[in-house]
Amino acid sequence: MALKKMLGEILADLGVVSHNQVKEALRRQREIFEGRTLPDRMERSRLVAETRFSGRTDRIPLLGQILADMKTVTEDQLKDALNIQNKMIQKYCDLDCGALCSVMDMGTRVNSSLNLAEVLSMIMHNANKVTGSEASTLMLVDETSGDLFFSVPTGPKAGTLLDLKLEKGQGIAGWVVENERPVIVDDVEEDPRFFPGIDKMSGFQTRSILGVPLKAKGKIIGVLEVLNKSDGTTFTEEDALLLTIFSEQAAMAIENARLYEELKVQVEETRRMHEELVEARKFQALTQLSSGLAHDFKNILNAIMGFSEIILLDVESAQIREDVQEILKAGGRAKDLLEQILKFTRQSEQSKVLLDSSTAIRQAVKSIRGRLHEGIEIIEDLSVESAYITADPSQFHQILLDLLQNAGEAIGKESGKIRIESEVLSLTDEDSGPRPFSESGKYVKILVVDDGCGMDEETIKQIFEPYFSTKKRGVGTGMSLAAAEGIIKGHGGGIEVSSAIGEGTTFELLFPLAAEKKPEKETESVQSLPGGKEHILIIDDEEPLVAILERMLGHLGYQVTASNSSEKALDIFSRDPMTFDLVISDLAMPVIPGDKLAKKMMEVRADTKVIIWTAFSEGINKEKFEKIGIRACLDKPVVMSELALTVRRVLDED
């Protein structure tokens, strides 16, 4: 393949064709080659067998033949180029066998590693050996700008050349890139292409230079230069040939190492994406599981709260009534907590809701305790209860988890303390300025304080920068502090950090205080609740819930017919539809779901009034229900006051 490329270079040097025409011919040759060869990634034994029996024995056309087909060269021009090529081949044949074997051996050693730094180091070390030079420099081409960057220079002043570059076309190396061929300069002072600025920087005195292009897959990737023969003589054509042979091996080694590094990055990215996919699937399964468990839990909670309210209807003992009231309050808190859990597991879109910050903080602390070792104590100091914020539950939870996890990692394996505090803070125009936002007003301030290793000023300056991390690759699965800062600002708040080496770290989070949640109403007495004499049909497959509705509605004065089967309920209704003033049905009924049951009943009697009650509150599609004609929806667990008011409102509607 090298000789085919050499023919193109010869024709370009003769001015017969341009470098672009050579590249086009090589591209066509490559297309033909790829069309007639088998895939690279095959087992060796299979590859040999496939090749033997594939029948693909057509010869790949030579570069000269392709150029002739392109009508860019004549037969005579090809003959002239081939004569020059033959002379060059003869020069290769005339090379000293010992020197050639030595160069090939060096090339083999250079290609024995896939570590790019090691490959570059071996190239420079062996380039001096090949030519007997005092120093050498490998410059790589920047693909965007075309500038040449110094990479691993050697020699007595090599250290001064690191991180330097030559602009595109500058110096002898720039000429080699533009002309894509070797050059020998016996006396640099006599050559206008020489760039003396490098010698001024390094203090090295360059007398002579041999530069050869580094080519990989027909593309210039850099220049290999050797400086000053050690014996004081000048570089020869034999030196140029040997260095050219070595440069081909070096370019191949660089590309292999580069591709290996790229492959490692791709494999790491694929592994990371796979882990994220696994986590996403686990979270999806958790969402489905939590939704199913929530349905059952709501039904259980409905039974607890419902029968508690029924007890209040019949019991006169003040102590028992007080105890039952506490059961109802606990049930209400359990209902709110369940709603927060469901909101956290619904990841389809960001949903900002009213959150009790103290409750959310306690949930995060409970979640993190099992991840930290026993020597770390978490102290809660939540001075303000019922301090509400408007936030996305999952994002708020994840931010707190990450900060607590970071605090635990800062403490390490030693014993330590993490303190999490919250309070309501009022900011005026005077003291809001230095913070990450300027709005005055009331905020919920959350502090996460640890007594761990702390951070220096340089680290503190960078922690909110994208992609910055003090953790090793693959450690940690949470969001970055940059992402956390963006989310907090998106909620109208801010985050600050203070730390010092050996003195721990404090994170301060501020979220705007939301309007206070309305206090829970005391359970109204049955005498104050609206009732009636109408006939109500109730359907639920859970017998305890049927009993609760029967008792509650009965106490309110209604006539009740109950069924735990949607089929039986439809049959009862169809036999005498005019006798029922209202239907209350569970949504998740076996055989005929509540919404479909309502539709069937309305086909029997168009003005049938239906209330759906359900533990699957996230499954309620109010627009769909309104189109069907369903009048209202109740979310389990339902307290008696809510039931009484909703039933009376629907019955009184036209």
List the chain domain ranges: 349-512, 526-652
What residues are paired with 139 via a beta bridge? 150, 223
**Chain-centre distance of CA 570, in angstroms?**
52
What residues are paired with 535 via a beta bridge? 559
Judge whether residue 77 has pLDDT over 90.
no
What residues are paired with 224 via a beta bridge? 138, 212
Judge whether residue 520 has pLDDT over 80.
no
Q: What is the pLDDT of residue 437?
A: 56
Number of Cβ within 10 Å of residue 326's Cβ equals 10
pLDDT tens digit string along 582-612?
999 998 888 999 999 999 999 999 999 999 9
- Bond preceding residue 637 cis, omega within 30 of 0: yes
Q: What is the pLDDT of residue 358?
A: 86
> Is domain 349-512 classified as CATH 3.30.565.10?
yes
pLDDT tens digit string along 40-67?
555 556 655 655 555 554 566 777 778 8
**How does residue 420 score in pLDDT terms, banded at 50, 70 and 90?**
very high
Q: Identify the weakest region by mean pLDDT among 12-26, 28-42, 75-89.
A: 28-42
**How does residue 1 score in pLDDT terms, banded at 50, 70 and 90?**
very low
Pairing of strands 505-512, 133-141: unpaired
Q: What is the pLDDT of residue 484?
A: 81
pLDDT tens digit string along 284-297?
676 666 666 776 77
Mean pLDDT score, 328-332: 81
Residues with Cβ within 8 Å of residue 441, at least 6 apart in sequence: 426, 427, 512, 513
Judge whether residue 618 has pLDDT over 70.
no
**CA distance linking residue 641 with residue 621, whole number of Å:** 24
Residues with Cβ within 8 Å of residue 19, at least 6 apart in sequence: 12, 180
> Is domain 526-652 classified as CATH 3.40.50.2300?
yes
The answer to whether 493 and 399 have CB atoms below 8 angstroms apart is no
